[in-house]
Amino acid sequence: MPKQPGILFDRRFYDHAIRQHSLENAARVRGLYHSLEGPEYAGRLRVYQPREATGADIEAVHSTFYLDQLREHVNADNPYSYDRDTYLMEQSLYTAALAAGGCLELADRIVSGEIDYGFALVRPPGHHAEPGRGMGFCVLNNVAITAEYLRRVHGMQRILILDFDVHHGNGTQAVFSESDQVFFVSIHQEKLFPFTGGTQEVGGGRGRGYTVNLPVPQQFADPEYLFLLGKVLSGVVEQFLPQIILVSAGYDGHCEEPISRVLLSTSWYATITELLKCLAHETCENRLLFVLEGGYNPVSLEASVLATVDSLLRPVGRRPGVVHSERAARILNNHPLHAFWTV
């Protein structure tokens, strides 16, 4: 019998807030939380609450120097004293630890077999936070802390992270660039903050070849994205054989988002979820965990996340069909991933 997906959200995530305008604010998720508590989803999802990540959990990824810096820059009078985008208030570090710990809570539930799929609807986001530096609204790197926890506590040796946020996941890449146990794939708009993630960035040392970046031009939409991820993920997953798939799920590539020029539709997020479910079913006993990253139009964010959740509620079907895209194929021509993997 199919297991109910797990969902995690908590109103304490509202407490990371400032009076000044910021695209990353509690209003992003209020409507989404309300919808998930409504009658349409009653009894269909396992709802979990976060725990606070421990110091050991966090310090497995972030330097003590960085964490000390964060504490020093908590400043109600100047919330941007640490970084011009990443504000810090009295509740920010606790909220960030709850966000990371919420991901660990769902990871434990997936590994135990209690659920197959999970979605951690947490904030602040995390994928830009490097070991020694926060940026781009990100304080702690939730998905990296989760991957390292899965290695350290559960002994996993093959973890796949897909980051489909419209911005490159520079922090996650920095954490695992020299590891052959965490395979990182990022698809993102080129020449956009944080201005990293070129195709030539493939990792180093033992991790060489375990980083794949797919920078795409403006105006790419559903067909190009599905072609690229369909080709790359199918090939990589069948060779790497991950024990779990983690997803840095950023919804700021939606066509109604103010922060990018990629033109993804709401339905694309359902389609990529269907593909990831199929890959997880074929290779890692359905272990699949989504972690919320960006998405700054509350209306399109809610619709797209609910499209993902609705997909998780459906039984596993066939892999979505992938139609050839000549524009997208040019990105894979002479891509350095061909030196390491067959796609």
**Per-residue pLDDT tens for 191-237?**
999 999 999 999 999 999 999 999 999 999 999 999 999 999 999 99
Strands of the chain, DSSP E: 6-8, 46-48, 117-120, 159-163, 182-189, 211-216, 244-249, 288-292
Q: What are phi and psi of 94, to 5 degrees?
A: -65, -45
Give the pLDDT band (50/70/90) at residue 150: very high
333 closest CA partner among 253, 214, 252: 214
**Rounded-to-5 percentages of helix, strand, coil across the chain:** 40, 15, 45
**CA-to-CA distance for 204 and 301, rounded, in angstroms?**
35
In the chain, the percentage of residues whose pLDDT exceeds 70 is 99
Residue type, 251: Y
**Contact 17/89 with Cβ under 8 angstroms?**
yes
Residue 159 lies in a domain: yes
Q: What's the chain's average pLDDT?
A: 97
Rounded mean pLDDT, 308-337: 96
- Tens digits of residue pLDDT in 121-148: 999 999 999 999 999 999 999 999 999 9
The amino acid that residue 64 corresponds to is: T
Query: Could you read off the pLDDT of 25-59 as tens digits, one per residue?
Result: 999 999 999 999 999 999 999 999 999 999 999 99
User: Annotated catalytic sites, by residue?
Assistant: 128
Work out the pLDDT band at 324, boundaries 50, 70, 90: very high
CB 246 within 8 Å of CB 146: yes
Residue 48: what are its φ and ψ, rounded to 5°? -120, 155
Structural domain of residue 241, as residue ranges?
Answer: 6-339
Structural domains of the chain, count: 1
pLDDT at 19: 87
pTM: 0.98
Average pLDDT of the segment spanning 258-274 = 97
pLDDT of residue 7: 98
Note whether residue 167 is domain-resident.
Answer: yes
Percent of all residues in the chain with a pLDDT value above 90, rounded to a whole number: 97
> Which one is predicted more confidently, 71 or 76?
71
CA distance 114 to 193: 38
* Domain at 173, CATH number: 3.40.800.20
Q: 134 near 70, Cβ under 8 Å?
A: yes
Indicate whether 314 pLDDT > 80. Answer: yes
The SS3 of residue 247 is strand
What is the model's pLDDT at position 1?
67
* Residue at 312 is within a domain: yes
Does residue 121 belong to any structural domain of this protein? Answer: yes
Residue-wise pLDDT for 85-117, tens only, equals 999 999 999 999 999 999 999 999 999 999 999
Tell me what pLDDT residue 77 has. 82
Order of all β-strands in the sheet with 159-163 = 46-48, 6-8, 117-120, 288-292, 244-249, 159-163, 182-189, 211-216
Confidence of residue 75 (pLDDT cuts 50, 70, 90): confident
Contacts of 108 (CB under 8 A, 6+ apart): none
The b/e string for 47-74 (b: 16+ C-beta within 10 A; e otherwise) is: ebebebbeeebbbbbbeeebbeebeebb
In a domain, 1, yes or no: no
pLDDT tens digits, one per residue of 166-186: 999 999 999 999 999 999 999
Separation CA 331–CA 343 (nearest Å): 13
CA 159, 332, 256, 194 torsion-angle sign: positive
Tell me, what amino acid is at 93? L
